């Protein structure tokens, strides 16, 4: 790598280190949050923008989980129930974020179309750390915005960071293609952002 290449990378590295320093403090799961997870059946109620109380949760910023909580049976139940919810015949989605089931914590489930068998996987404390290439336009829908779809610009190559649920270590991964689009949509939910905020023009159309 030449000096010029290194110099070009420096602003991005500086930005990433600032972002990682600004992670919010981590509070343990409250009794209320634990009850929200444990009191529901295997599929959880999906919050929608049509309900004002639901909308307040969907618009709130989510916070990280402690390593202790990620290792807990409560987290295992959350991951299992988020997967059961997004894959249920009523929802039939390709991704879901914890705020959509009422929990303002940084957890998402994503269908990995880039892996053999296209499995769903769950990522705690996830964030997009870098984007690459040029954004492209694509149609999206959202389980919390029923009956609608619209066109959004998304990056086709992103780097993500999360806490490995197995090792509890910080992990980074490069994601490409439609799976990268899902990561961006779900990570937006963790910042209270909906795809309808990013529609290109007035091109939202009914499903």
Nearer to Zn ion, 36 or 58 (CB): 58
CB of residue 190 vs Zn ion: minimum separation in angstroms?
11
Q: Which stretch binds Zn ion (CB under 5 A): 35-43, 103-111, 136-144, 167-175?
A: 136-144
CB of residue 48 vs Zn ion: minimum separation in angstroms?
10
Does 58 contact Zn ion by CB under 5 A?
no
CB of residue 96 vs Zn ion: minimum separation in angstroms?
7
Chain positions 96 to 125 lying near Zn ion, rule: CB under 5 A, are none
Residue number closest to Zn ion, CB atom: 142
CB of residue 163 vs Zn ion: minimum separation in angstroms?
22
CB of residue 100 vs Zn ion: minimum separation in angstroms?
6
Nearer to Zn ion, 99 or 124 (CB): 99
Cα gap 97→114, rounded to integer Å: 19
Q: Which stretch binds Zn ion (CB under 5 A): 73-81, 108-116, 137-145, 159-167?
A: 137-145
How many residues contact Zn ion, by CB under 5 A? 1
Q: Which stretch binds Zn ion (CB under 5 A): 20-28, 109-117, 141-149, 176-184?
A: 141-149
- In order, the DSSP letters of the chain are --HHHHHHHHHHHHHHHHHHHTPPP-PPPPHHHHHHHHHS-SSPPPP-TTSHHHHHHHHSPPB---HHHHTSHHHHHHHHHHHHHHTSTTT--SEEEGGGGT--BSEEEEE-TTSTT--EEEEES-EEEEEES--EEEEEEETTEEEEEEEEEE-SEEEEEEE-TTT-SEEEEEEETHHHHHHHHHHHHHTT--GGGGBSTT--EE-
183 class by beta-carbon count within 10 Å (0-12 exposed, 13-18 middle, 19+ buried): buried
Chain positions 142 to 181 lying near Zn ion, rule: CB under 5 A, are 142
Neighbours of 140 (CB within 10 A): 20
Nearer to Zn ion, 142 or 187 (CB): 142
Q: Which residues are catalytic?
A: 186
Q: Which residues are near Zn ion by CB under 5 A?
A: 142
């Amino acid at each position: 790598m030449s000096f010029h290449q290194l110099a070009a990378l420096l602003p991005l590295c500086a930005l990433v280190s600032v972002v990682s320093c600004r992670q919010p403090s981590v509070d343990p799961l409250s009794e209320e949050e634990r009850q929200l997870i444990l009191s529901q059946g295997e599929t959880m109620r999906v919050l929608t923008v049509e309900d004002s109380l639901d909308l307040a949760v969907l618009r709130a910023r989510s916070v990280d989980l402690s390593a202790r909580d990620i290792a807990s049976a409560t987290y295992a139940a959350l991951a299992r129930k988020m997967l059961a919810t997004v894959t249920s015949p009523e929802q039939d989605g390709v991704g879901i974020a914890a705020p959509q089931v009422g929990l303002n914590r940084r957890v998402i489930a994503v269908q990995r179309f880039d892996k053999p068998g296209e499995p769903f996987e769950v990522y705690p404390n996830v964030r997009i750390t870098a984007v690459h290439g040029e954004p492209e336009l694509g149609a999206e829908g959202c389980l919390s915005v029923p009956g609608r779809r619209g066109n959004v610009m998304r990056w086709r190559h992103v780097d993500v960071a999360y806490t490995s649920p197995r090792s509890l270590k910080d992990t980074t991964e490069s994601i490409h293609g439609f799976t990268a689009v899902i990561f961006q949509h779900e990570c937006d939910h963790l910042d209270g952002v909906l795809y309808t905020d990013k529609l290109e023009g007035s091109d939202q159309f009914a499903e």
